Structure 1
Amino acid sequence: MSQIELTELQRRLIVETQKGLPLVANPYAQIAEQLECTEQQVIDNMQLLQEQGVVRRIGLVPNHYRLGYVHNAMTVWDVDDEYAVELGERVGALEFVSHCYLRPRHLPLWPYHLFAMVHGKTEAEVELQITQIRELLGDHCRQADRLYSSKILKKTGMRLKSKS
């Protein structure tokens, strides 16, 4: 992997947006004003940074606790390897699953390799969601567990510091 040289504008753009986009109708226009450039320059540079892999994605990260979804569980599943990808895609498509992925097992202590995060307003709602996943997995599921969230963790990626 080769190293990317950032322009001064790109570096300032990353610093300006790494904590999130402004919650306004035209966030790129507001950023452009702050960076003293055009909105199109912001859009073009964001696109280029994505194409280069410097910026992986631009997405919304809602605070589900503030929305009332205070019961959260990472569900873990031991399913047949032959069906793991297909089943993972089906579980990930469920409207109540926020993210779903495969990870390596760590036998003999950790037999699970399919992970799916679920959120609910009550524990009963989360348990119902877990039951729905178990039904979807059917006989392909050998065992499962749930790991309930006990505190909110700060979710951030790497941060650049502004040049002082």
Structure 2
Amino acid sequence: MSVCTSPSDEGLTRRLIELTEAGLPLVADPWAWLADELGIDVDATLALLQRLQADGAIRRIAAIPNHYRLGYRHNGMTVWDVDDGEIARLGALIGAQPFVSHCYRRPRQEGWPYNLFAMVHGRDASDIEAYRNQIRALLGGACRANEMLVSSRILKKTGLRLAGQRRA
């Protein structure tokens, strides 16, 4: 990755990540706010963000709604036992569903045969059960077994935070 070109650029990049990892403030011009916090102009700020995106350090810049505040208070991690040779195709199919927020392949473990994981969210328990049934129908005979793990309480919910972490 070629995000940083000098030690000062590395510090600026790290500061930008620290300022944005929890989201941008709701202000009239978030780019001007960010530029002011970084001590550089808006064009340089946007160029740095574009470089981070081009290098793959960030995927996108977008508004992320809080689904709990929008009434989606139920979620379930559906887990599926599917053929390993079909998982790429099936994972793409399930991940493309509008009600699936996360879709992963994970290794099977002893006593845990599931290798495809898909998170669904709904307004009530019947919503997430209906989504599970839709996934089951899409997988058809490729699904050998499945479960749904539902949350009983949120203990922590954040994205990766780099602020305050020490480098190894």
Q: TM-score, normalised by structure 2?
A: 0.83
Aligned ranges 1:43-62 → 2 under 5 Å: 43-55=46-58, 57-62=60-65
- Quick one: which of 36, 39, 43 aligns to 1:40? 43
- Quick one: which of 18, 23, 37 aligns to 2:21? 18
- Which shows bigger deviation, 123-132 or 5-14? 5-14
Q: Deviations over 1:105-164 (max 9, x none)?
A: 113x11001000000101111111110100000000000000001222222313224xxx
The alignment covers a number of residue pairs equal to 161
Which residue is 1:64 aligned to?
A: 67
Distance 2:116 2:55 in 1: 30
Aligned ranges 1:7-156 → 2 under 5 Å: 7=9, 8-55=11-58, 57-107=60-110, 109-152=111-154, 153-156=156-159
Report deviation, 1:21. 1.4
Distance 1:113 1:83 in 2: 11
**Structure 1: gaps spanning 5 or more residues:** none
Identity of aligned residues (%): 50
Distance 1:159 1:132 in 2: 37
Q: CA RMSD in A?
A: 2.4
Distance 1:21 1:56 in 2: 16
Q: Deviations over 1:23-77 (max 9, x none)?
A: 2353212211233321111111122233445445544433211111111000000
